[in-house]
Structure 1
């Protein structure tokens, strides 16, 4: 196909370039001037290469534009077909999608681990079930279209309307759970979605996408409601989608570069930020519960969930007992000798950060590579640290079952250390405190520049709404703290345009009503009780 299209370009074709260049060469030979011959030969090579590269580049760009346009146009048509579906029909479709993914949860998890080499099957299966069934339960019965509320006194009615076509980035760390999550929240608002999976997970993404389109067909919905880039995706292609005039919104869950590209695109977007949650363990903490929460959370899917714990900050009076509690739960708290050996294995000296191949690997395997052994299976590696600095690879986000441990004199010093850690990495994301002192909880909440403050809860499960009252979500905003547009756990309501119908009220009417009610309340109060 490329060769055929190549022949129809308006610019001179390859053969014409050769003919023209050959004439130059013959002329030079006729004059028997060696220098001119060599110069002519150089011109031939340069012109052929230049013209061929230019034509190929143009063809590739044109093909990419056509590909992007076609997907977006089909998504626009599909969205219009369902924008007036009643709530019951949408909810039945969402239920069918959630149940189908749940049926294949383990199969998808195995495929994701095999392809990406990140995380583990058991926890990815749990994430798939959460992102399908639990997210569905949070959506069913909610209003995603039409009238939301009526304020009779103010004469204001609010109505929900779709945003249109959403473009969503899907990270390699959660290739299937984030995929189905974004599909469900988009369809609840009668939106279409085009997903851009990570190149590391193109195979499992294709399988999940086909599964979803099969369900759409079974329920009379156009399959083009959910599309995804099926070939090896490039950053250029993703940016072309982001900047397309008919893409209405971007859900950017991915690396910092792509999140920034989403905000630069000119299209409305919600992005996420890096995690690096500090955990303050106060003197009154239930250490058994705290240790169990930390190990369960940070070992979950081999530590790749962004809202998991990254830095333990323990008050000195309880730190020894806390270390013992961690070890009883399966963590390996390293000695100084082990710490040095471990860092030599997992840290890239050129970048002073964890080696990429460490991400999402089993703690037991990482420990084995460093010659670290315990009499129990190692679920988590805890690395004692002292310096709160960008130069400390243990003070930044760690997408692995690895935690730093800082010891502080008291809770006030601990809060300062937590702030300093967030300033290095993780602003706006999550912070955790283990205490039963309401004064400490309030002070911690005020001081932490984050969107989620978890109290006595595991970071991973609490942050995504699995073991907390937060909205179930796999896209966690970081607010202006972290350079994003919301502090929320993102859900379907972020993908709605809210219309407000306001009726005329004479100037001062509402204020007068309020004054009259206040006046009557004051006058009648003495006659009651």
Structure 2
């Protein structure tokens, strides 16, 4: 009976949140640029002031990642994001083409549903709240069951800061009693116009099956290729900095390291010098068994854990100061568990003859769960980077840490925690999602050509055909053709 009551309460709460947010969004849709910017600045201040406490709550509740890195993500999802989006045209006339006489006017999408993962709960809630409000949308969050408290706290802070700056009450909501029934109710309810899904593949697939527009992401099984002309020390430093950032919980983090055979010894030595531990085949098998359940499904207890913790849990001994674990793999797919996505501090390791072989291996790894997402390159040869631009991904990250590069922290990409994988990865967009993905565009188009005196295209074509053929026709044939054309025009109403 308790479970039954909980489900009923959960679904009813969801309905109430959606109705209230929908009404609030109708008010917000009338706000000006100045009003929206005032609200955003208030939300950013609240996120900045609470970045540390939200990070602590997230780590305490989920056990994933590191407080200092989650604090950075909360700040990045607020201040850095605001600096990027504050001048974006999302209200009123956003473009005027004076040559073609077309005026483009932005309108909000309406009420959004935000699906929040357990790996980046508070930063994702902050990020989605800000991009939703910037586009004059409301949003209701469905948190991951293992990150309810911290997601709810982040959403409440964003709501209260928005309302304090003039936003209508209930413009941001969050389910406090999460259940599968509640999530399904929110996905399919009439009030929700679009879903922004960040989470596991099953949840994203469900979002796309809800019968309404959705922006989702896919897994990011990112290969990192160290090419022979790379600065090896810097490449290794960037990879370790990325893989240890929040203990590998960002989907853009590297999953496999590929290096040219001619620099293999140098790469291995550099990893060892900087805190990488190369596991024996036996140790790799022990760690793999601990990392995955039922094939290659990630063990939640190993997500976002430090290398020392994973080693200890797997029954292997590693040197003090070990930052990442590396296991050599001889292939991709079944039988090679480290070739799959690992949102933690473990990397697969491969060596290849040259960049062509690296290309082929990268494609196999991407097709093993990561198509459309990202690839990481370390090279001093620009031509190599351009050759890899033909690979089936939408982010080719060169000479940077993949985690920070993919989300736009160390690159010029848009700051985002929803990274589209395009149609290759089953996503509706290949972009880092911004407020521009959350608006509708209406167009006022003025006439450029006058068709009032122009013959009907079919009539003109028939007349031209008759004229072209008349020289070769007899008088009777010509008369018959004219009658046929007139009959056709009468049927069409042209004469």
Tell me the TM-score range normalised by the shorter chain. Answer: 0.7 to 0.9
For 1:417, the equivalent position in structure 2 comes to 361
Q: 1:377 — aligned with what?
A: 321
Superposition deviation, residue 209 in structure 1: 2.5
Aligned partner (choices 272, 279, 283) of residue 217 of structure 2: 272
What residue in structure 2 maps to residue 299 of structure 1?
Answer: 244
Native 8 Å contact 1:390 1:396 kept in 2 = no
> Which of 308, 329, 339 is matched with 1:395 structurally?
339
**CA distance in 1 between partners of 2:16 and 2:123 (Å):** 27
Tell me which residue corresponds to 2:487.
none
Partner of 1:451: 394
Distance 1:353 1:164, change over 3 A: closer
1:49-78 alpha-carbon deviations (Å, 9 max, x no partner): xxxxxxx97x88876664433222211211
- Mapping for residues 61-460 of structure 1, pairs under 5 Å: 66-231=12-177, 233-348=178-293, 350-351=294-295, 353-369=297-313, 370-374=315-319, 376-446=320-390, 448-460=391-403
Whether the 8 Å contact between 1:386 and 1:406 is mirrored in structure 2 is: yes
Alpha-carbon distance between aligned partners in 2 of 1:206 and 1:487, rounded to the nearest angstrom? 29
**Residue in 2 aligned with 1:42?**
none
**Distance across 1 between alignment mates of 2:106 and 2:263:** 51
Partner of 1:515 in structure 2?
none
Q: C-alpha separation between the residues in 2 aligned to 1:91 and 1:450?
A: 34
Q: After TM superposition, give the deviation of residue 323 of structure 1 in Å.
A: 1.2
SS for the counterpart of 1:406 is strand
Normalised to the residue count of structure 2, the TM-score between the two structures is 0.87
* Cα pair 2:13 2:175 within 8 Å, conserved: no
1:475 corresponds in structure 2 to: 418
Q: Secondary structure at the match of 1:130?
A: helix
Is the CA contact (8 Å cut-off) linking 2:156 and 2:173 kept in structure 1? no
- Structure 1 residue 340: Cα displacement: 4.1
Give a deviation string over 1:168-189, Cα, whole Å, max 9, x none.
1000001100000000000001
> In 2, Cα distance between the equivalents of 1:114 and 1:107?
10
Instruction: Say yes or no: does 1:503 pair with 2:440.
Output: no
**What are the superposed Cα offsets for residues 70-123 of structure 1, whole Å, 9 maximum, x if unpaired?**
222211211122212221221121111112111111111111011011111111
On the 8 A contact 1:197/1:228 being kept in 2, the answer is yes
For 1:224, what is the secondary structure of its paired residue? Answer: coil
Partner of 2:433: 490
**Paired positions, count:** 450
- Contact in 1 for aligned 2:333/2:339 (Cα 8 Å): yes
SS in 2 for 1:223: coil
Distance 1:242 1:100 in 2: 28
In structure 1, what is the Cα distance between the partners aligned to 2:299 and 2:448? 64
Structure 1 range deviating more: 423-432 or 72-81: 72-81
1:313 shift after superposition: 1.1
Shift of the alpha carbon at 1:482?
A: 0.5
CA-CA distance at 1:434 after TM superposition: 1.0
Question: Aligned with 1:391: secondary structure?
Answer: coil
CA distance in 1, matches of 2:299, 2:87: 45
Moved more, 146-155 or 217-226: 217-226
Check conservation: 2:228, 2:262, Cα contact below 8 A: yes
Q: In structure 1, what is the Cα distance between the partners aligned to 2:65 and 2:187?
A: 29
| CA RMSD, 1 decimal | 2.0
Q: Give unpaired runs (5+ residues) of structure 1.
A: 4-55, 509-529
Q: Secondary structure at the match of 1:292?
A: helix
Point out which structure has higher relative CO (alpha carbons under 8 A, 6+ apart). Answer: 2
- Cα 1:174–1:391 change in 2 (3 A) is same
CA distance in 2: counterparts of 1:199 and 1:390, whole angstroms = 30
Deviation at 1:371, TM superposition (A): 2.5
